[in-house]
Structure 1
Amino acid sequence: MQVVLATHNPHKVEELRRILAPRLPGIEVLAYDGPEPVEDGTSFVENALIKARAAAAHTGLPAIADDSGICVDVLGGSPGIFSARWAGPARDAEANLRLLLWQLADVPDDHRGAHFACVAALAVPDGTERHVTGEWPGQILAEPSGEQGFGYDPIFLPDGYAISAAELTPNVKNEQSHRARAFEQLVPLIRELLSD
């Protein structure tokens, strides 16, 4: 059995393969090379389903997608669904990170609460769909730290840790992250749908 990962982000493909491989033995997880849909949803759920539906329609295979971002309490949950484009349409991860740090420059540590959110979605060519949500609570650091991970990882301090998400080993991140938490819930649904 094959499923396709509905993303063009190579970092995300690598991370999701590491998360899914031990949980879905016997299922081949393919990268997606089809057209990228317009993510014009107003929530993580809508955008995840848009991507999964497009990949399922294009490939004829069950498709897995996620939409995720960082949600900062003092910013009312922003950047949220705009995380990848926070500093503009170029999707410049470094510019996004720097802009968020600048916006929080005068915010004290006890008001820098945040969480990563991830909605994982499955779309099957017959129209069946499922989605789940995972969250990873923490706070925003004052400066980046660490070389692992990508996006906002260097400025995210997960609850229960003294180091940033970018300083965690891939194995720890793959057990604790918002994606891991979402896909942990999605895996039984994938098994159920693909065994029918």
Structure 2
Amino acid sequence: MTNTERRLGSGSLVIATHNAGKLKEIGALLEPHGLKCISAGSLGLPEPPETGRSFVENALIKARAAAEASGIVALADDSGLSVAALDGRPGVYTADWAERQWFEGEPGRDWYMAMGKVEGLLAERGPHVDRQAAFHCVLAIAWPDGEHAVYEGFAPGSLVWPPRGKLGFGYDPVFVPEGSDKTFAEIEPDRKHAISHRADAFAKLVAEQFPS
């Protein structure tokens, strides 16, 4: 989905992240299209509070903040896991569910704990609970003058327990993508990236922004 007919040209694009790994991943995807990606972190831009109630709102918050502060077109992403039986939770709070509380040890993220929270809530609903889930990714492009475009990607699947595999991160060890019997953490990275929610969103962005 998009809200403008404007297209990206060659040149610089601010990636609204302070994560070097994410900059590298997104930069590799966009480099063939003549874009030089620089991170908001390298420009010293602050991270805006993610106060949105949806992936789209949070992605736009980050993209707009980076575009306005830098005067350069910006791209942001927001992603997470939604579980059908949990009314779409954890959703935009996907990472928050992994945050340790003061009584749970040193600050940081504990993804096994987060997976356990999801499984615990599913278990409360009985042995025949719907285990369908999906990873979501929203990519938002924002121009300094306020125009924007949004692209949504999905990876449908189901949840398993206990966790399986060591190749992924986050909730990957409990997520089996549709059409597979392996979790994202059991699938080789190249194969996972080809079928992921981020790959789906980027395919839509490239098809519209860089039509052949």
Shared topology, TM-score over 0.5? yes
Structure 1: which 5+ runs fail to align? none
Structure 2 residue 34 is the aligned partner of structure 1 residue 26 = yes
Q: Percent identity?
A: 43
SS at match of 1:111: coil
The match for 1:131 is 150
CA separation of 1:36/1:74 partners in 2, compared to 1, >3 Å: closer, same or farther?
A: same
Question: Where has structure 1 moved over 3 Å in runs of 4 or more?
Answer: 9-15, 17-21, 87-91, 105-110, 188-192
TM-score, normalization: structure 2? Answer: 0.80
RMSD: 2.2
CA separation of 1:172/1:20 partners in 2, compared to 1, >3 Å: closer, same or farther?
A: farther
The match for 1:40 is 51
Determine the C-alpha separation between the residues in 1 that align with 2:49 and 2:30: 26
Q: CA deviation at 1:109?
A: 6.8
The match for 2:131 is 112
The match for 2:168 is 149
Determine the C-alpha separation between the residues in 2 that align with 1:70 and 1:86: 11
Give the AA of the match of 2:48: P
Determine the C-alpha separation between the residues in 2 that align with 1:143 and 1:119: 28
Correspondence for 2:121 among 80, 100, 103: 103
How many pairs were matched up?
Answer: 190
Q: CA deviation at 1:80?
A: 0.7
SS at match of 1:144: coil
Q: CA deviation at 1:144?
A: 1.5
Within a 5 Å distance, the mapping from 1:159-174 to structure 2 comes to 159-174=178-193
CA separation of 1:19/1:146 partners in 2, compared to 1, >3 Å: closer, same or farther?
A: farther
Deviates more, 1:109-118 or 1:41-50: 109-118
SS at match of 1:86: helix
Q: CA deviation at 1:88?
A: 4.5
Deviates more, 1:64-73 or 1:85-94: 85-94
CA separation of 1:10/1:150 partners in 2, compared to 1, >3 Å: closer, same or farther?
A: farther
Determine the C-alpha separation between the residues in 2 that align with 1:137 and 1:45: 18
Deviations 1:22-80 (A, max 9, x none): xx432122222021101111111111100001111222221111111101011011111
Determine the C-alpha separation between the residues in 1 that align with 2:20 and 2:164: 22
CA separation of 1:64/1:47 partners in 2, compared to 1, >3 Å: closer, same or farther?
A: same
Deviations 1:110-150 (A, max 9, x none): 62110011111101112220002111100111122222232
Correspondence for 2:12 among 2, 24, 27: 2
Name which one, 1 or 2, has greater alpha-carbon Rg.
2
Determine the C-alpha separation between the residues in 1 that align with 2:90 and 2:59: 16
Structure 2: which 5+ runs fail to align? 1-10, 101-106
Determine the C-alpha separation between the residues in 2 that align with 1:91 and 1:138: 28
CA separation of 1:139/1:173 partners in 2, compared to 1, >3 Å: closer, same or farther?
A: same
TM-score, normalization: structure 1? Answer: 0.86
Check the 8 A contact 1:63/1:123 in 2, yes or no.
Answer: yes
